[in-house]
């Protein structure tokens, strides 16, 4: 059965470039990003892992751990990391899962035979502290991911987990948010004392409440 939003992220234990990892233990009480790569020593993947390494402080600010995966082996990963560090001018600072037996890839449905039956697609899973899947995105192998967008999504997920709000299209940290429909308009001032604007009865905006 395919995974869906709200499902518990399947747990697993796997060898990684930083030793054996139990996934749920690795995440602890924080947030997590699990993302797969078609193969080691491929150009787009090299830029992606370099981009993630450079965002270490941004993920840390959000109490979020990242972990990558490809179906290549441990020695291949370790050799590839040297190339990533050299070409992307950074240091890979997160584990890369060695998934030669494809156990994790199949657990998370990362291999799409109609795309390529040998390699994983570019899957992304964002997982909350409750170990539930909050977001899933699948990119084709030819398209690199936008990790600034993933940070934006994490900001939205963390905000909306703590307040009765939603984030509108193209929202960024610090911008106004949508008051949840379940809150009556007359109750908004008590819940959101920074003020609000009623655009339509179903569309009420308020400043971001945690700033």
Do 167 and 138 belong together in one domain? no
Q: What is the mean pLDDT of residues 31-57?
A: 95
pLDDT, mean over the chain? 94
Q: How does residue 21 score in pLDDT terms, banded at 50, 70 and 90?
A: very high
150 falls within a domain: no
CA distance 177 to 70: 37
Residue 194's CATH number: 3.30.1020.10
Q: What is the mean pLDDT of residues 112-129?
A: 72
Contact 178, 185 (CB under 8 A): no
pLDDT, one tens digit per residue, over 146-160 is 999 999 999 999 999
Helices 43-54 and 74-88 cross at an angle (nearest 10°) of 70
169 falls within a domain: yes
158 falls within a domain: no
Do 41 and 98 belong together in one domain? yes
Do 125 and 169 belong together in one domain? no
Residue 59's H or E segment, with its range, is helix 56-61
Do 87 and 178 belong together in one domain? no
Contact 63, 31 (CB under 8 A): yes
CA distance 114 to 34: 22
More confident residue, 90 or 116: 90
Q: How does residue 122 score in pLDDT terms, banded at 50, 70 and 90?
A: confident
Residue 114 has pLDDT above 60, yes or no: no
CA distance 148 to 85: 20
* Amino acid 185: pLDDT: 96
1 falls within a domain: no
Among all residues, which ones are annotated catalytic? 45
Q: What is the mean pLDDT of residues 88-99?
A: 97
* Amino acid 120: pLDDT: 56
Q: How far apart are the first and last CA of the chain?
A: 41
Structure tokens at 118: 């040998």
Do 139 and 171 belong together in one domain? no
CA distance 199 to 148: 29
* Amino acid 121: pLDDT: 61
211 falls within a domain: no
CA distances to 80, 103, 149 from 99, in Å: 15, 7, 26
Residue 1 has pLDDT above 90, yes or no: no
Domain boundary among 114, 144, 174: 144
Do 93 and 17 belong together in one domain? yes
Q: Containing domain of residue 30, as a range?
A: 13-144
Residue 115 has pLDDT above 70, yes or no: no
Do 195 and 97 belong together in one domain? no
Residue 202 has pLDDT above 90, yes or no: yes
Domain total of the chain: 2
Distance from chain centroid for Cα 42: 21
CA distance 51 to 42: 15
Q: What is the mean pLDDT of residues 12-19?
A: 97
Residue 119's CATH number: 3.40.30.10
Residue 18 has pLDDT above 80, yes or no: yes
Q: How does residue 38 score in pLDDT terms, banded at 50, 70 and 90?
A: confident
Check residue 47 and report its DSSP letter. Answer: H
Do 89 and 58 belong together in one domain? yes
């Amino acid at each position: 059965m395919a995974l869906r939003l709200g499902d518990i992220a399947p747990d697993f234990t796997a060898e990684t470039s930083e030793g054996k990892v139990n996934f749920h233990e690795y995440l602890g009480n924080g947030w997590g990003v699990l993302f797969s790569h078609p193969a080691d020593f491929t150009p787009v993947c090299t830029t992606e892992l370099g981009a993630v390494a450079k965002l270490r402080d941004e993920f840390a600010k959000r109490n979020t751990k990242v972990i990558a995966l490809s179906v290549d082996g441990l020695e291949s990963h370790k050799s590839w990391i040297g190339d990533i560090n050299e070409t992307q001018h950074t240091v890979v600072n997160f584990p890369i899962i060695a998934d030669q037996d494809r156990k994790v890839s199949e657990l998370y449905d990362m291999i799409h035979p109609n795309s390529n039956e040998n390699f994983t697609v570019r899957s992304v899973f964002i997982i909350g502290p409750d170990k539930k899947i909050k977001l899933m995105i699948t990119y084709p192998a030819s398209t690199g991911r936008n990790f600034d967008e993933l940070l934006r999504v994490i900001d939205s997920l963390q905000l909306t987990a703590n307040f009765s709000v939603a984030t509108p299209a193209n929202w960024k940290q610090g911008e106004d948010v949508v008051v949840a429909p379940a809150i009556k308009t007359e109750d908004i001032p008590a819940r959101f004392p920074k003020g609000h604007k009623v655009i339509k009865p179903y569309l009420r905006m308020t400043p971001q409440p945690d700033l």
